[in-house]
Structure 1
Amino acid sequence: MSMRIDELEFSKVISEDLIQLDLKATSKIEVIEELTNLLYVNGFISDEEGFIKDVMYRENEGVTGLEKGIAIPHGKSAYVLKTSIAIGRTKKQIEWESMDGNPINIIILFAVKDTDKTTTHIKLLQKVAVLLSDEEKIEQFQILQTKEEILHLLSRNL
């Protein structure tokens, strides 16, 4: 059975509206607040404060910083209306607990609906994890200039 996520499924979970390549944030909480706001204004979550609490609760359970400047915080939350992913990149390196001990500047925030505990979000997490284990893809993430390029990179590989 193929794990490929089709275009339709992909476009439901991520769109240009949920990508911000120039986050103003200078701390972990600011990053999460900024990306949460993107999710909120685009109708993916119902309550910013509640969702942030759920994300921070998950943050306390384990390291979400991977290697090479990428973090994948996630909130499985009753405040999520539609499972989705918000992507941000910061100019400044952000202090974050990470596997390689380095700060991060690319953040992929998963917002997972309580009822989507299994299929879609597990598939997405696996796909993103595989994508982020590819050094070449990570390098591309760091240098791509537009939201379209980021979407293209993801849709080709998820």
Structure 2
Amino acid sequence: MRLSEMLKEDNVLIGFKGTQKKDIINELIELADKSGRIRDKEEALRAVMAREEMMSTGLEHGIAIPHAKTDSVSEIVMALGISKQGIDFESVDGEPSKIFFLLLAPETAATANVKLLAQIARVTSSAEFRSRIVSADSPAEVIDIISNAE
């Protein structure tokens, strides 16, 4: 499945209220929950935070991919948030993260989950893509940028 097919405008946020890692993850889970496919938001939050404690999912070039396998979903659920200023997400390059892909997957979807992570890595490897997505003004524009990059 393509990233652009996984995302709906209701699951894309431009501008976070929070400034701390847990706040951002919580906002992303609330955003993903608009799909109605998260059975237990608290369990989803615990699973993502436990994953973050093992190792930060803040990558380089302003990308973060908080994710977890959890029984709180029966299929893969995704949300995307953009921070134009950037947020400290304990990234490997020490730079603030601006693009946040949240992935929640059931244990049974390991292969599909890895494929989505690979797709995210591929599209976000382009500096032009990263610049365009951070400059986007609407969720529809974000999804269009992703669709064109796939």
| TM-score normalised by L of structure 1 | 0.86
Structure 2 letter corresponding to 1:104: S
1:75 positional shift: 1.4
% of aligned pairs identical? 33
The reply to whether residue 85 of structure 1 matches residue 102 of structure 2 is no
Rounded Cα–Cα distance in structure 2 between residues aligned with 1:10 and 1:92: 24
Q: Which residue of 2 aligns with 1:52?
A: 45
- Is 1:97 equivalent to 2:102 in the alignment? no
Say yes or no: does 1:141 pair with 2:133. yes
Matched position secondary structure for 1:108: strand
- The alpha-carbon distance between structure 1 residues 87 and 50, as it changes in their structure 2 partners (threshold 3 A), is same
Matched, 1:75 2:68: yes
CA shift at 1:66, angstroms? 1.6
Note if contact 1:24-1:90 (Cα within 8 Å) is conserved in structure 2.
no
Whether 1:152 aligns to 2:139 is: no
Return the letter of the residue paired with 1:149.
Answer: E
1:116 aligns with 2:71: no
What CA distance in whole angstroms lies between the structure 1 residues aligned with 2:57 and 2:149? 21
RMSD: 1.7
2: CA distance, partners of 1:105 / 1:25:
13
Q: Is 2:117 aligned against 1:131?
A: no
Contact 2:83 2:134 in 1 (8 A): no
Are 1:64 and 2:64 matched, yes or no? no
Structure 1 unaligned residues grouped into runs of 5+ = none
Structure 2: any 5+ residue segments left out of the alignment? none
Shift of 1:113: 2.0
Offset at 1:23?
1.6
How far is the alpha carbon of 1:10 from its aligned partner? 4.6
Matched residue of 1:66: which SS?
coil
**Normalised by the size of structure 2, how large is the TM-score?**
0.91
Deviations 1:13-43 (A, max 9, x none): 2111110112211111000001101122321
Q: Which moved more, 1:141-150 or 1:59-68?
A: 59-68
What letter corresponds to residue 79 of structure 2 in structure 1? A
* Structure 1 SS opposite 2:137: coil
Runs in 1 of length 4+ with deviation above 4 angstroms?
none
Give the direction of change, closer, same or farther, for the CA distance of 1:91–1:152 in structure 2 (3 Å limit): closer
Match of 2:32 among 28, 39, 50: 39
Supply the AA of the counterpart residue of 2:97.
Answer: I
